Structure 1
Amino acid sequence: MRQGLFITVEGPEGAGKSTIIQKMADELAEKGIDVMLTREPGGISIAEEIREVILNPKNTAMDERTEALLYAAARRQHLAEKVIPALEKGGIVLCDRFLDSSLAYQGHARGIGMDEVYSINKFAIENTMPDLTLYFDVEPDVGLGRISKHKGREVNRLDLEAIDFHERVREGYFMLLDQFPDRITKIDASRPFDDVYQNAFDIVEKFIAERPVK
Structure 2
Amino acid sequence: MVNQFSFHDASTSFNDAQFMADAMDSTIPHLVAAGNAGQWGTEPLSRKESFMQKMHDAVSKSEQFCETGAGDRERIFIAEVEDDQTSSGSTANGNLSRRVDENGKSFVSVGFVKIVEEQFVSYLKETESLKAQIEPALKKGKFVFLQYLVTDHRVGDRRRGAGAALLQKVKDYTLERGWKTIWLDCWDGVHG
TM > 0.5 between the two? no
Determine which structure has the larger strand proportion and give its number.
Answer: 2
Determine which structure has the larger helix proportion and give its number.
Answer: 1
The TM-score, its normalising length taken from structure 1, stands at 0.28
Question: With CA pairs under 8 Å and 6+ residues apart, which has the higher RCO, 1 or 2?
Answer: 1
